[in-house]
A and B are shown apart, each in its own frame.
Chain A
Amino acid sequence: MTAPARGPVVVIGAGPAGVAAAEAAVEAGAPCALLDEGPPTAAWAGLPASLRRRVDARWRAAALAVWADRRVLLRQGRRTLLLGARGVVVATGANDLSVPWPGWTLQGVLPSREALRAPAALEGRGLVIGVAPFALETALRLRRRGARLAAVAFVGPRPSAEQRLFLWGDEADAAAELARAGVTLLESTAMIEAIGERGQVVAAAVAPARESDWMPRSTERRLVRADYVVCAYGPVPEAALCRAAGCRAADEPASGWAPRVDERLETSVPGLFCAGAAAGSRGLGLARAHGREAGAAAAGRALTRLRRLWPGRAACDAAYAPRPGLWAAATPATVVCPCEGVSLQALRAEAAREPGRDIAALKLATRVGMGECQGRRCGPAARALCGAWAAGTFGARPPARPVELGALARMEEA
């Protein structure tokens, strides 16, 4: 144990894993600060009031960086604070995996997390496209909020009841419920391109895809009219904080970069823990269990050894991890990095210029991943599409979110 008993346990992210971590930390007797970029979350509302009172919850507070000496830099309102922590739990969840195909940057094409965060149901009739469990869950949740859906198109097998329980914490048969509501289910179907008028999506061309590798047969394309397209290809760990803090990588991240964690969810940086989707694990139940373990360990009390994981987990992960066909719809002109407008052919041309370099070199040469999102959106796609000629993943540097110079200048120790 290297964590000195000073400062609070700082938990970053108030999703299921983060709230479970905060709960375990206060139960272990440690003071705890829980930060989240947004307003109070559903997971927080689910915590008993007696426990909520013991957590120093800070909303609209963005963590910008974590250092190996367990200091956390955060932006809260107009203040920029440097918090010393006895332990830090990163539970920042995941982003959507972006899959570039022609038209993916049109107005009306949006990732599932954005669609689900939208305050009201989207206008018109929608198409949900993606990988089976993620597309079905997204479609079901949109449908329950009153969205009108034309179809759900997905690759990968429908999830079993056990998988649904593991992934969603809910056995509800999304496919059956959607079918009853008149939503067309297009199984083994992948996107070929989105078709737009004046920059706004109006239809999607989809095609049957091979189950083994999700490769679409583009000659058999069909058109689906849609006013919006929601993409649900699965999660990519939001691990920028861990990566910039110098954590070692997990061996085989399914998509993108995730930190290596031990059975206490501790990363290679002592006192820095990572739990839930940010650590590359899937499923609501696992997020809660991991969050609890990480929160207790960060407070200096090892809980129980984690119960044996659900044995079907590896098969579930493997069934829904990205396969090569996912990337087959991109054409040379398709933009891979929307922030900087870098196309696939620009990446290929640069890679051909000087073979043997890694993706960081491609980034410096083409500016792929240098924009506002710092490679969050294009990172996995660039890696998948350029992997043959440029190895590695984008690095991450502080700050995890852009921050005004004036705010950095006013940094206070707290």
Chain B
Amino acid sequence: MSERGADVAVAGAGVIGSAVAYYAALRGLRVVVFDAPRPGQATTASAAGLWPVGESLGFGCSLIFYRAMRGAGRRAIAGSALPEPFLDFALRSNAMFPALAEELRARTGVDIELDPSSLVYALASDEDERTARALLSRPCHASGAVERLSAPRLRRLVPWLSPLVRSGLLFRGEDQVNPYRFAAALRQAARALGARFLVDEPATRIVLARGRVAAVESARRRVPCGAVVNAAGAWSAQVGRLAGVTLPVRPVRGQLLCTEPLPGRLGPAVTTSDVYVVQKAHGEALIGSTVEQAGFDAGVTPEAMSALAAAAVRALPALARVRVKRCWAGLRAGTPDQLPILGAVSGVRGYLNACHYRKGILNAPLTGLSLAQVLCGEEPEASLEPFALARFGGGVRPRTARAAR
């Protein structure tokens, strides 16, 4: 069944797809979003510490990732710090949150629970010290946002820390949000601006004509449109294939534990080299996370439950008596260099990538805004060039390039 057309179709109603829909609708574009609820969707599985500096410098999730890869005997990017353009992008996106939170509250009444906080990296061994020195030695304009903490100061800040922790690094301005509420607020605001969300209706076909997107189909309908944004997260490769685009994206599982409300305030979020602990608005703590390749299996394993619990108790012994309410896993959109894949692809006009690996929540505002600008033919707020699919070289061979000839 063919129906009224749209200016842009978005595949995926997670936080990225919803942000694209919101900013596109804000610019007056007619938006339709295809979505299929699947177990493991990373938006709802995420811990949502924003952490632009810590992450970009290679701490937090990055460091856990690096250790996991090295433990598995895989080659990992040296030091695991992410390059300057990513840090730039992350900081600018992070800076959008306070105003966006107010904007979304005014439009929808939803409080995204933006919690101004900070992140502490707790160092407990010589190796931790060496890693910290190496990561901080890299010239980086955000290094100023990092402060070394002596043991006594560290303990005043996070009284629950283990006596084995010798010192720490404090990353200021590392906030957090409620990921589900954030995505829901974007969705509701987009809907109020006229965007249509097709729940339980994944995109099954992208129709190309003369090397350009002409329509997107689901099992139920065909929507003529001039552009499609691939925001399918861990399922990005599958959606890319519909347009003949090969994306080097694989699901990377992250398991998390959620506790009952803690008996007090933890203070800043705490990360060590093998676990992070974040307290959320309702007092519960999220403990994460693993980095594993398990296909699309979004289950949890006893090994991970035990390892995460042990690492959390090592860092914060007082947590030993806190009870775990539930464990779950999310599937991240794993890319070979850990960087996002954003923007246009040569050979398929109207097709845009919007694929983030670990920092999708943090980068959703700037990604949504920049892609909406590209869709309107404007210069994007942030350059998407460093994140183009083209950086992976010859792997991309859109079938349309040939079809168009």
Do A and B form a real pair? yes
In the complex the two chains form, what is the Cα distance from A357 to B198 in whole Å? 10
A residues in contact with B187, CB < 8 Å: 354
Partner of A65, one of B302, B319, B321: B302
Is B44's beta carbon under 8 Å from chain A?
yes
In the complex the two chains form, what is the Cα distance from A376 to B302 in whole Å? 23
Shortest Cβ distance from A219 into chain B, in angstroms?
37
Q: Are A364 and B44 in contact (CB under 8 A)?
A: yes
Closest 4 CB pairs of A and B: A406-B320, A408-B309, A409-B310, A402-B323
Q: List 27 A-B contacts (CB under 8 A).
A: A71-B302, A246-B299, A353-B188, A354-B187, A361-B184, A372-B325, A397-B300, A397-B328, A402-B260, A402-B324, A402-B325, A403-B323, A404-B322, A404-B323, A405-B257, A405-B319, A405-B320, A405-B321, A406-B309, A406-B313, A406-B320, A408-B257, A408-B309, A409-B306, A409-B312, A410-B310, A411-B306
Q: Count of B residues near A, CB < 8 Å?
A: 37
In the complex the two chains form, what is the Cα distance from A357 to B13 in whole Å? 12
A residues in contact with B301, CB < 8 Å: 67
Q: Are B37 and A358 in contact (CB under 8 A)?
A: yes
Task: Scan residues 345-365 of chain A and give those whose CB is less than 8 A from a CB of chain B.
Answer: 353-354, 356-358, 360-361, 364-365
B residues in contact with A365, CB < 8 Å: 180-181, 184
Is A122's beta carbon under 8 Å from chain B?
no
In the complex the two chains form, what is the Cα distance from A365 to B300 in whole Å? 23
Q: Are B188 and A354 in contact (CB under 8 A)?
A: yes
Partner of B320, one of A246, A360, A402, A404: A404
In the complex the two chains form, what is the Cα distance from A360 to B327 in whole Å? 16
Q: Are A403 and B188 in contact (CB under 8 A)?
A: no
With A358-B37, A364-B180 already in contact, the answer to whether A403 and B324 are too (CB < 8 A) is yes
Is A398's beta carbon under 8 Å from chain B?
yes
> What sequence of 0s and 1s flags, for each residue 314-344 of chain A, a beta carbon within 8 Å of any chain B beta carbon?
0000000000000000000000000000000
In the complex the two chains form, what is the Cα distance from A410 to B197 in whole Å? 46
Chain A residues touching B, range: 20 to 34
Shortest Cβ distance from A121 into chain B, in angstroms?
32
Is B305's beta carbon under 8 Å from chain A?
yes
Is A91's beta carbon under 8 Å from chain B?
no
In the complex the two chains form, what is the Cα distance from A406 to B287 in whole Å? 13
Q: Are B188 and A408 in contact (CB under 8 A)?
A: no
Is A399's beta carbon under 8 Å from chain B?
yes
Shortest Cβ distance from B204 into chain A, in angstroms?
19
In the complex the two chains form, what is the Cα distance from A405 to B322 in whole Å? 6
Closest to A391 in B: B200
In the complex the two chains form, what is the Cα distance from A410 to B320 in whole Å? 10
Shortest Cβ distance from A47 into chain B, in angstroms?
31
With A354-B184, A354-B187 already in contact, the answer to whether A405 and B302 are too (CB < 8 A) is no
B residues in contact with A406, CB < 8 Å: 309, 313, 319-321
Partner of B305, one of A367, A370, A398: A398
Is B259's beta carbon under 8 Å from chain A?
yes
A residues in contact with B324, CB < 8 Å: 399, 402-405, 408
Shortest Cβ distance from B394 into chain A, in angstroms?
40
Q: Are A411 and B305 in contact (CB under 8 A)?
A: yes
Is A95's beta carbon under 8 Å from chain B?
no
Is A189's beta carbon under 8 Å from chain B?
no
Q: Are A367 and B282 in contact (CB under 8 A)?
A: yes
Is B133's beta carbon under 8 Å from chain A?
no
Closest to B325 in A: A402
In the complex the two chains form, what is the Cα distance from A200 to B299 in whole Å? 43
Q: Are B199 and A357 in contact (CB under 8 A)?
A: yes
Shortest Cβ distance from A71 into chain B, in angstroms?
7
Is A82's beta carbon under 8 Å from chain B?
yes
Partner of B306, one of A67, A353, A367, A408: A408
Is A92's beta carbon under 8 Å from chain B?
no
In the complex the two chains form, what is the Cα distance from A14 to B327 in whole Å? 26
Q: Are B309 and A354 in contact (CB under 8 A)?
A: no
> What sequence of 0s and 1s flags, for each residue 226-258 of chain A, a beta carbon within 8 Å of any chain B beta carbon?
000000000000000000001000000000000
